[in-house]
Structure 1
Amino acid sequence: MLRPYLSLVSGLVVLFSSAVFAQGEADFSKAIELTAGHEELDIKNNKLLLTDNVTVTQGSLVIKADRLEALRNNEQQADTFIAEGNPATYTQQLEDGSTISAQAQRITYYQAREVLELVGDAQVSQGASRSSAQIITYDLAKQTLSASGEGSENNRVTTIFTPTKKDDNDDQNGGNR
């Protein structure tokens, strides 16, 4: 009876240890910890549901949500992960020491396709730049992002690039380099 559950948990390990997240590669040799106030396993429907302050941690990778649903495909491993919250969040420290973060009402990770889909007040931030839209699709393997304002009040996408601060030496030298 526990075998399907173990397969589902193994799928969670595959979720975070895949080369998909190469930007935080060191994290994937570390143990995965799932915590929540409540957990339900639906063996018949191949579904694991975590609710009440859900946190998934592996090294610097952290996903927080009010609710996380893991669905198994026909190959007996978790393939689709749906995190919901107000908002659900994802953060990870990159190899260069910077942090990438994302948030949305719903974050869906499609493991086989290596894609994060953020829906509802979606935002992705890295360094001084931030993209926000109703829907953001982030291809983890290719490191590409696609954003759509469809369904939002003004059907627009916003990207903000914040300039870096000037060095005090630049001010003293009249901005010349």
Structure 2
Amino acid sequence: MPMDRYTPLSCRSKLGSSPHAGAIGTALLMLLWAPAIGFAVPVVDAEQPMHIRAQAAEFDHWNGRAVYLGEVEVRQGTLQVTGERMTVHYLDARLVRVTASGEPARYQQGSAPAGSLVRASASLITYHPGEARIELAGEARLAQAKNDVAGEIIHYDIASGIVDAAATGQEPVRVILRPASGD
């Protein structure tokens, strides 16, 4: 399924044929409660300037695309994305999408002292700043504080904190949710 046609139910619709469908369905249901546990981070980073470092860059202004190669790092406010290859798509000087690949590519956003630091890794990370969401594919992992979600595909809505994860092969979605301390 193409990542650009994702809907919240698209990952779930293929679970019925999986031998792990019951466990995955339960995990997905539990993930709907993740915002109450704290999987959301501020979206103000989208208003900050973006800084990109790489070993090589290729710009295609006519098609609104820039490709960066070799130890690529993007920083925008508290947002940091790293990978071996990164493609930045823009339209009318506005950032539309950033796609990073690597073994693994990494995403980080938020602040550790505030308890909102979110970390993610996957073979392919796609960040949609206008929609405040990221898509992780290939050995995907998303973590905040003590909570951890792993699976082949993870979709994360940054603004709402909603996480949707799915398995595509033999390995099921793995979830660790720890209750907040009573302090």
TM-score between the two structures when normalised by the length of structure 2: 0.66
- Number of residue pairs the alignment of both structures matches: 143
Matched, 1:141 2:159: yes
Partner Cα distance (1:164, 1:43) in 2: 47
Partner Cα distance (2:158, 2:94) in 1: 20
Q: Where do 5+ consecutive residues of structure 1 fail to align?
A: 1-21, 166-177
What does the per-residue CA deviation read over 1:80-114, in whole Å, with 9 as the maximum and x for residues that have no partner? 21111111111123385232100111111123432
Matched, 1:159 2:175: yes
Identity level (%)? 26
1:6 aligned residue: none
Counterparts in 2 of 1:5-84, with a 5 A limit?
23-24=41-42, 31-73=49-91, 75=92, 77-84=94-101
1:143 partner SS: coil
Paired residues of 2:46 and 2:129 also in contact (CA < 8 A): no
The CA deviation at 1:47 is 1.1
Comparing 41-50 with 101-110, which one deviates more in the overlay? 41-50
Runs of 4+ that moved beyond 6 A: none
CA RMSD of aligned residues (A): 2.9
The CA deviation at 1:61 is 2.4
Partner Cα distance (2:104, 2:139) in 1: 8
Paired residues of 1:27 and 1:58 also in contact (CA < 8 A): yes
Mark the structure with the bigger radius of gyration: 1
Paired residues of 2:54 and 2:68 also in contact (CA < 8 A): yes
Which structure is richer in relative contact order (CA contacts within 8 A, separation 6 or more)? 2
